[in-house]
Amino acid sequence: MLRRKAAVIRKRIEATVRRAQQVVVKVTGGGRGMAAIPAHFRYISKNGKLEIEDDREVVRIGKEAVRDLTDQWRYGGSLVPEEGHRREAFNIMLSMPAGTNATLLQKAACEFAQTELAGHRYVTVLHEHQANPHVHLSVRAEAASGKRLNPRKADLQRWRETFAEKLRGWGIEAEATRQASRGESRNSEPLWRIKAKEEGRLRAASVTIKAGRAATLSRADARVSWAHIMKALAASEVAGGHELAERIASFVRGTTFVREQFGQGSKVPSRQDRSPSEHSPPGVGRSRSSPEVDR
């Protein structure tokens, strides 16, 4: 059992080091009343032109299908008001880079929903007419049990890991490595910029860098973790351990964080540089950010 677990961990390390494709899972919004939900159904289905698959694995197409789904959501469970103050549905996008098999991506997305959104009404629609194939998923916030969905940043990371696992099950190499572990320091692009770029409406690229002590320390911690892994591999007698340690060293030197920070002569804070509050567990003494894709 331990050997098998170690082998799985090593495969994930190797995939990260060779910069395997990273999944994207992003909450793009959601309706705060019944009026907004069918509008989103129409948008993701191109007004009924694309197939819609629901949580019962029923696949339908056409405007009538959109109206029927709207009625199911309107009258199934507690009543959803036309206009409200709380979010009654969440819109999620599951994406992979161009060249990914769209059919398999859709299968993995449906398996993801079955695992992570069990008990909720949801619909999925595949979009493959843009650069990156992706699945739009709209999920009713309230489950059949009455429990409400309220995704936070930790949930999104778990969702990424689940989606990557489902993709690998279909033979697609995919990872959900945290951004800090990849040594990245750039914020992910907002959805409106991604769409504008795909439609040719965006001329100049705009990249923002994650700043602040918390973000820097997170990446510094990741470097410390990589150092421990390299040390363990270099001292191990596992076949290929020394080679993998060297590949990790090369990977870390080539990360965006190391190139940008050390290339400019900046000093990366170590654990010893932290104030007592920065030793707190995750979520304590740090500002909470809104759910966002970690890519």
Spans of all domains in the chain: 1-20+180-269, 23-169
pLDDT-derived band at 66 (thresholds 50, 70, 90) equals very high
Q: Could you report the per-residue pLDDT of 227-250, keeping only the tens digit for each? A: 888 888 888 887 888 888 888 888
241 phi, psi to nearest 5 deg = -65, -45
pLDDT at 187: 52
CATH code, 23-169? 3.30.930.30
278 secondary structure, DSSP code: G
Q: Is the pLDDT of residue 284 over 80?
A: no
The overall average pLDDT reported for the chain is: 81
The answer to whether 52 touches 124, Cβ cutoff 8 Å, is yes
Q: Of 28-42, 216-230, 255-269, which range is least confident?
A: 255-269
pLDDT of residue 19: 81
- Of the given ranges (16-25, 50-59, 122-131), which has the lowest mean pLDDT? 16-25
The whole-number average pLDDT for the span 279-291 is 36
Q: pLDDT-derived band of residue 57, with 50, 70 and 90 as boundaries?
A: very high
Q: Would you state the torsion angle of the CA atoms of residues 50, 54, 60, 64, taken in this order, to the nearest 10 degrees?
A: -90
Least confident of 55-69, 147-161, 252-266: 252-266
pLDDT top residue among 80 and 193: 80
DSSP-derived 3-state class of residue 73: helix
Residue 64's pLDDT band, with cuts at 50, 70 and 90, is very high
The mean pLDDT value for 255-272 works out to: 56
Across the range 11-36, mean pLDDT stands at 88
pLDDT of the residue at 181: 76
DSSP 261: H
Asked if 112 contacts 162 with a C-beta cutoff of 8 angstroms, the reply is: yes
Higher-confidence position of 161 and 77: 161
pLDDT of residue 277: 40
For the segment 262-289, the average pLDDT, to the nearest whole number, is 41
- Report the DSSP pairing between strands 89-95 and 134-140: antiparallel
**Higher-scoring residue by pLDDT: 264, 178:** 178
Which pTM does this prediction carry?
0.71
The pLDDT of residue 183 is above 80: no
Say if CB 113 and CB 92 are below 8 A apart: no
pLDDT confidence of residue 253? 82
Q: What is the pLDDT of residues 191-210, one digit of tens each?
A: 555 556 556 666 655 555 55
pLDDT (average), residues 61-78 = 91
Higher pLDDT, 215 or 269: 215
Distance CA 236, CA 20 (A): 25
